Structure 1
Amino acid sequence: MKIAVAQMRTTAGELQRTAERMVELARRAAGEGARLVVFPAAALMGVWPVDPPSQEGLLLDLAEALVKISEEAPCPCIVPVLSDADGAPAPEAILVHDGQLTPLKLSALLRSSVAGHAGRRPEAGREDGDGPAPDLPIFELGGVHFGLAFSFDDLNDFDDYAFDIDVVLYLDGYGFAMDDPSSAMGVSVSDGRFMDDAEATGAWIVGVGSLGTYGMQVFTGSSFVLTPWGELAAQAPSLEEGLIMADIDPNRGSPLDHPLDPEVYDRPLVAWNALAQGLAESLSQMGFTQAAVLVDGTLGSCAVATLATDALGPTNVHALLATGANDGLDAAARRLAENLRLPVRELPMSALSPDRTLAADLAQAHLVALAREEGAMPLSNLDKTALALEASPGSMPHAGLAPLGDVYRSAVIELVHMRNTISPVISRASRHAFEVPAIPGIEECGPTPESRIDFVDYVLASHVEWGRPLSDIADDGGHPQVVSDILDRLASCAPGRMACGPVIVSSSRTLDDVAWPLGMAWRDRVRTKAERAGEGIGGAISLGDDLDEAIAQAAEGLRGVAGPQKAGDAQPAGGEPDAPAAPRDREGDVRDVLNILRDLSLTGGLAADQPEGRADRHGQGGRPGPGGVPGDSPIWRTFSEN
């Protein structure tokens, strides 16, 4: 079967226009022999549902668009849609075939429900134990058996359970994240998870990448087709529209005649281009074509000005040069504006106030005034490290959109170095003009500012992106008091972040995902292994006699599951079943339960049951280390030492 993937840039909710384009692409694909056309997950409705009161009207208009596609498309199509389930996005895909519209996830759920009520097990699933998600779509078309995945959890199900499928269609709904190679789709296929998925399923993997910016999430496209043996059969470009086709032969087991060579994944380059696309399209969605930036010669200001120029063009970026604080940085700021050919307005900081903090606040006000005058959007120079640790409550927030607000400062340094290899617009002085957050003892965490900011970002990424507790981070990275102070500052700055503007999402987990409850006085501290095992508190915990006994029995059962007893362990005398039992270790029982609860809280389920290397919501499975970023280190598991 020849399958086509229509990688298209759209505006979410522009239903009729998008439906017309889908029909046009289906006609083009059918003319080239395609028997199935697959469209991206975000093409029609984006990645976030509208508010519940608007759902009815949206669904009525969506139905009209789907009917148009069913009436005019010359070949079967997979058209993803989006609805709301208790406030969360609920993706669905409609199979358009012979004038019929079949919701694939809903159909799978209904089949599972009917089979359950009839006392039968679904045909597809695991041979023993619990099966996969009941709404995991599986369908047949033209003699080819398809599985449909919207998330890495869905892919995990196809990897782990026994399905008789020939092709897995993966409709990307995550968007690009710097800490997850798989999010870049085909351009990083040799670094991400999809080769493993092809091997695990024994099926063709068709990755369908959305393209464009939906909300503040950036999608880079780069759709691809992988054979079951891991060859790249087709790939669409990143950040461009494209229609790719591949001949899927479930019976083929030999190498392709002309496979494509997988690209070497250049993370900084892909990230810079994704941020530029996100900035341009986010401003357009807000009604702006121009931006205003405050340039003071520091690393962050030069990075934002350069990114804005790449995204919008120099005539659409207005630079406000804040001068007078440092002669070297003043020269660097002027040189940057000249290199980028930006229209410039100079603002002497000494004329604002002798108080540097007040002068910086007033400079932000001047930036807003310049933006208003030019009809532009003001841009914030804050990065993720600054938002995490420097957005203190009561301080004046930076106005406008923060293009680097989801990028750690160490990664900004990396991006600037990469950008200078294209054209050296940012001076050496500016590349070294960044601050390390003022954390007590941070000087002990590295000999240079770069190494110290690496440590700060390692702590933040470990906690934010990877959900690791304070004690684990301190065990691996050392400097427990500094780690504790960094995470305490992260919590304390939560109210300050509320006043900051939107950011372009470029990680698997933003700071909004770890918002600290306002008014929460408790803070974690570094704990010994004995404390974390619950020693010393077992006798103080009682859940009632019945529950205590049930917990004890469960703990005993867990010990039995752990394996056969070692030689010398207590055995019933003579092997008789009614021999007296040894006294129960009640404190040990409670420790077992506490450790189980800890693992559940870290993983959302028993970590031993989680697929290897699928640790986060993007499914990357790496772990951060000092001097690196999440994903640079070997695969890990979050199950505790217990």
Structure 2
Amino acid sequence: MAERFRITLGQLNPTVGDLAGNAAQAQAAWAAGRDAGADLVALPEMFIAGYNAQDLVSKPAFQRDVMTHLEALAADCADGPALAIGAPLVEGAELFNAYVILKGGKIASRVLKHHLPNETVFDEVRIFDSGPLGGPYSIGNTRIGSPICEDAWHEDVAETLAETGAEFLLVPNGSPYYRGKFDTRLSHMVSRVIETDLPLIYLNMVGGQDDQVFDGASFGLNPGGELAFQMPAFDEVTQHVDLERGPDGWRIVAAEKVIHEEPYAQDYRVMVQGLRDYMRKTGFKKVLLGMSGGIDSALVATIAVDALGAENVRCVMLPSEYTSAASLEDAETCAKALGARYDYVPIKAGRDAITQTLAPLFEGTKEDLTEENIQSRLRGLLLMALSNKFGEMLLTTGNKSEVAVGYATIYGDMSGGYNPIKDLYKMRVFETCRWRNAHHAEWMMGPAGRVIPENIITKAPSAELRDDQKDSDSLPDYPELDAMLEILVDHDGSIADCVAAGFDRDVAKKVEHLIYISEYKRFQSAPGPRLTKGAFWLDRRYPIANRWRDPS
């Protein structure tokens, strides 16, 4: 009978700073592995601390608390399989992103991350020290190499492990989602397998943490790059994986290969999961939002119901004299289709009071953007009052196109604690609404069917802050605007790139100017789930005071 090695993989959802809760999850996974006869139970990168914990791991009291929980976990898991878990680890005056192997009641081995990512959402160079290139660790008579996340994206770590006797690779990750990320990961891991001729198991965590959502989608590859198994994306799963030793060494025993959902479904799952975990991990139970009758608030309301359940969502219509009858009808129809609470709170009396208060100071001036923004800020005030009174977190509803060019009122419609569509361009908002009307999945808590009225999707977008206002009065049409924003923001392109793509130079310069002068708004904006590598949060950090403009 062939020799076997069983690994129990914990594709789980830690919470940053919840050391006891994360340790409890680890112990439950270990118990499942013990009961299944596992040789090793493996958890993702930095699991005990949660990820991405940023500067929290630099706090000495936190580091000591991590060690206390690791020692307790080692003692609790002394009699059974080894437990591999990611943790911040202090050695002397240095702090490492480490993978520790608990066995026999103690830390039996540790791996120290060598390549520290210093791009997009990661600042590990300023937080951690780089560990040396090292060799494998032993579980029984089997030698395992564990390049930690970024280490597996480079040749040297895996090659060193192979040269020093590793028999297969187990890669623990805290790898957040962006559109198309899985294919990028798979390509890098296939390269490591081909270079080392070793099987590779890629273990990723799941769950939302602030703007990042970890999508799991763990998998295994055999030599030659053949896919041996593929776990679900986004779901918490504890799965047992077997390796079998033959004449050519270890091979992963083939298991289920779960097919991942289409890109629109993955993006939507990220927005739902991001909000759901943000609420759970910050302690909120309910949300509210301003329901304008427009497409953005309709999509945010739908995401909220799918994430939290209709009983935990309040939609508030705050009409002025500029709010159309169609918007009133559309907002109520959408809220009722979702099953959410719908409140009607006219702002005319409040706006009249503010206008009268300011009249002596505004005397002799003409109405302009100031009066329009008063409406938006009054709505923000009323929504925040409801939030304070009932303990419901306010969601903001600005899409990425608006966030990019500042087509939003700070302290008005930008008020809120979380923005589920912050990284979704306007044209993608339209397509996502159509997608959600046509699709439903078991992870959605809202109803199936056409929950967003067709009229909301097809009517011209408008802030409705003055008579006959349209977004296109102030901005290029959204197909054109979004295409330029993708060049300037997502691809870090130039005005020349916009012109080469067929856009008018003066229009591109205007868009660029709006992006730069809106930086102060984004600096104060609510977080939202990251869907791309050009998200407005940690991916893109620009100075607020900035006079440079592209001369091309």
TM norm structure 1 = 0.67
Aligned 1:101-140 pairs, distance under 5 A: 101=107, 104-106=110-112, 135-140=132-137
Deviation at 1:478, TM superposition (A): 4.3
Pair 1:303–1:160, CA change in 2 (3 A): same
| Alignment deviations for residues 1-53 of structure 1 (CA, whole Å, 9 cap, x no partner) | 22221122333222234324423322321332321211022431122446579
Pair 1:256–1:107, CA change in 2 (3 A): closer
Contact 1:395 1:496 in 2 (8 A): no
Equivalence for 2:23: 19
Matched, 1:467 2:492: yes
Equivalence for 1:515: 541
Equivalence for 2:224: 229
Contact 2:403 2:522 in 1 (8 A): yes
Select the residue among 318, 330, 333 that pairs with 1:332. Answer: 330
Contact 2:88 2:96 in 1 (8 A): yes
Contact 2:10 2:29 in 1 (8 A): yes
Distance, in Å, in 2 between the alignment partners of 1:147 and 1:213 is: 28
Pair 1:419–1:107, CA change in 2 (3 A): closer
Matched, 1:244 2:269: no
Matched, 1:409 2:438: no
SS in 1 for 2:59: helix
Matched, 1:498 2:514: no
| Alignment deviations for residues 54-104 of structure 1 (CA, whole Å, 9 cap, x no partner) | 72222222222222233332222211013699xx99522112234442564
| Alignment deviations for residues 589-628 of structure 1 (CA, whole Å, 9 cap, x no partner) | xxxxxxxxxxxxxxxxxxxxxxxxxxxxxxxxxxxxxxxx
Contact 2:219 2:229 in 1 (8 A): yes
Select the residue among 47, 51, 57 that pairs with 2:51. Answer: 47
Deviation at 1:352, TM superposition (A): 5.3
Contact 1:495 1:518 in 2 (8 A): yes
Pair 1:264–1:477, CA change in 2 (3 A): farther
Contact 2:133 2:160 in 1 (8 A): no
Matched, 1:154 2:152: yes
- The residue type equivalent to 2:217 in the other structure is S
Contact 1:232 1:260 in 2 (8 A): no
Pair 1:89–1:256, CA change in 2 (3 A): closer
Distance, in Å, in 2 between the alignment partners of 1:314 and 1:441 is: 34
Distance, in Å, in 2 between the alignment partners of 1:376 and 1:312 is: 12
Pair 1:134–1:439, CA change in 2 (3 A): farther
Pair 1:151–1:309, CA change in 2 (3 A): same
Equivalence for 1:33: 37
Seq. identity, %:
20
Pair 1:200–1:344, CA change in 2 (3 A): same
Distance, in Å, in 2 between the alignment partners of 1:360 and 1:35 is: 60
Contact 1:392 1:493 in 2 (8 A): no
Q: Considering only aligned residues, what root-mean-square deviation do their CA atoms show, in Å?
A: 3.5
Distance, in Å, in 1 between the alignment partners of 2:7 and 2:423 is: 36
| Alignment deviations for residues 367-394 of structure 1 (CA, whole Å, 9 cap, x no partner) | 1122223220111011222111125787
Of the structure 1 ranges 350-359 and 489-498, higher mean CA displacement relative to structure 2 is found in: 350-359
Pair 1:202–1:482, CA change in 2 (3 A): farther
Matched, 1:317 2:313: yes
Pair 1:60–1:420, CA change in 2 (3 A): same
Distance, in Å, in 2 between the alignment partners of 1:248 and 1:467 is: 44
Matched, 1:3 2:7: yes
Matched, 1:358 2:388: no
Aligned 1:126-525 pairs, distance under 5 A: 135-141=132-138, 142-152=140-150, 154-157=152-155, 164=162, 165-178=166-179, 180-182=181-183, 194-195=189-190, 197-249=192-244, 251=246, 259-323=255-319, 325-348=323-346, 353=351, 355-391=371-407, 396=412, 398-400=414-416, 401-422=418-439, 423-433=449-459, 434=461, 442=476, 452-476=477-501, 478-512=503-537, 513-525=539-551
Pair 1:136–1:78, CA change in 2 (3 A): farther
Of the structure 1 ranges 72-81 and 9-18, higher mean CA displacement relative to structure 2 is found in: 9-18
Rg larger in 1 or in 2?
1
Contact 1:47 1:214 in 2 (8 A): yes
Pair 1:214–1:305, CA change in 2 (3 A): same
Distance, in Å, in 2 between the alignment partners of 1:153 and 1:483 is: 40
Alignment coverage as a number of residue pairs: 486
Distance, in Å, in 2 between the alignment partners of 1:367 and 1:198 is: 54
| Alignment deviations for residues 383-412 of structure 1 (CA, whole Å, 9 cap, x no partner) | 222111125787746211211112222322
- The residue type equivalent to 1:411 in the other structure is R
TM norm structure 2 = 0.77
- The residue type equivalent to 1:329 in the other structure is S
Of the structure 1 ranges 362-371 and 375-384, higher mean CA displacement relative to structure 2 is found in: 362-371
